[in-house]
Amino acid sequence: MLHILNDGFLASFILLLPFIAKDQNLNLTQVGLLGTILNVAAVVLALPTAYIATKIGGLKTLVIALFIYGAALLGAGSLGHYGLLIAMYCLAGVGFGVFHPIAFALIAKWSPKETRGRIIGNFTAIGDVGRIGISAALSFMAVSIGWRQTAIVYALVVLFIAFGVYRFIVGRSDTIATEEYKPAPMSLWQVAKNRRFILAASASALDGFASASLFVFLPFLLLRRGVSPAFLGTFTAAFFAGNFFGKAVLGRFVDMFGNSKVFIAAELLMAGFIFALANSTPLYLIVLCSVVLGVFTKGTIPVLQTMITESVEHHGNFEKAFGLSALVITAVTTSAPVILGYTSDKLGIVTAFNVMAVVALVAVIPAVWYFIATPHPPAG
């Protein structure tokens, strides 16, 4: 349930950007900065997240995060100045930044290796239920009643749910016990110098640079192609439907074919469809590419998470591995919206999408090395 809420409202923060840009007369570099700020707190919180959860409990940490980004959404709707919006997006980043390292560490511990791809794929796909259901209505609401009023309504819903979860569930029993977060005898340096971890984290970072900003700038590309603002929610819902399908299916492919093989194939396909999307004019082809890209841009998440898990499985210290990988990945993806926003302003948004495609191709290189460095059982 918390994953549904976390991912749904994170998507809503991003989907508000075109409406904020129009209201505030922002250029794409300023829009990219707001998108980047959502990731800044994740960089800062990546390593101490597990420690925080150890002290106060896993569910309490996640519900406090819910309160934080609910308050940020309320502030964003109430305070319209760009400088204050930066502060609210930073606060929201704090809320969103703590969720995934805790959640993925737990799921990795609870998943047997032979079905890990399916389980992690299902868990990541659950977040897209929120992305589809919560964000699909946002653009229509924003067009009908304005983005500020929409943000305030959403914020009140978030805060009400957070209070209910804390009052009736977490306040009685934190079912994610603190024992889950006792660190294994493995230092961060031991994780960081692990060759397969380095390769998996590198592939994740490059994949994140190529795909994380796609959703930020996809509405602007669609608007340039003549799509009505009222229908942005429909396109993004289709994109998120592709996310859901991709995570569930690619996760299962991991159990069948191996994570590195699945990642390489998905990244090559993603690069091809980004090129097609950027350079296509027929509306039906844009819709097709948008949906298919949803499959590959987020479908690689469970694939990469199994690679991170596999690289440190001999020590079992998943908290430090996911914390450190989140630090590396988010540090790279945080710069992507600003870089690509600046590229869009100077060279055009089509060029920015072409850059994303090239980076997706480069992500194949560490994945190939990871495959070579991974022990494989003999045939038969």
Q: Residue 178 has what pLDDT?
A: 43
Would you say residue 49 has pLDDT above 90?
no
- HSE-CB at 50 with a 13 A cutoff on CA atoms is 22
pLDDT value at residue 179? 47
Nearest to 218 by CA among 72, 340, 120: 340
Using an 8 Å Cβ cutoff, are 68 and 87 in contact?
no
Q: Is 170 exposed, middle or buried (0-12, 13-18, 19+ CB in 10 A)?
A: buried
Query: Taking the complete model, does pTM exceed 0.85, yes or no?
Result: no
Nearest CA among 325, 338, 266 for reference residue 38 = 338
DSSP 182: P
Q: What is the DSSP letter of 374?
A: S
- What average pLDDT does the segment 313-339 reach? 77
**What is the per-residue pLDDT across 255-281, written as a single tens digit (0 to 9) for each?**
999 888 999 999 999 998 888 888 876
The pLDDT value recorded for residue 266 is: 92
How many CB atoms sit inside 10 A of residue 293's CB? Answer: 27
CA–CA separation, 255 and 116 (whole Å): 7
The residue ranking higher by pLDDT, 133 or 200, is: 200
CA distance 325 to 332: 11
**Per-residue model confidence (pLDDT) at position 310:** 85
Helix, strand or coil, per DSSP, at residue 137? coil
SS3 call for 112: coil
Q: Residue 299: pLDDT above 70?
A: yes
pLDDT per residue as tens digits for the range 65-117: 889 888 988 998 887 678 888 888 888 888 887 888 778 877 887 788 888 88
Residue 241 has which token pair? Answer: 């439907």
CB atoms within 10 A of CB 269: 16
100-104, 190-194, 250-254, 341-345 — which one is most confidently predicted on average?
Answer: 250-254
Res. 377: pLDDT tops 60: no
Q: Rounded CA gap, 367 and 303, in Å? A: 11
Please report the domains of the chain, with CATH numbers, ordered by start residue.
2-373 (1.20.1250.20)
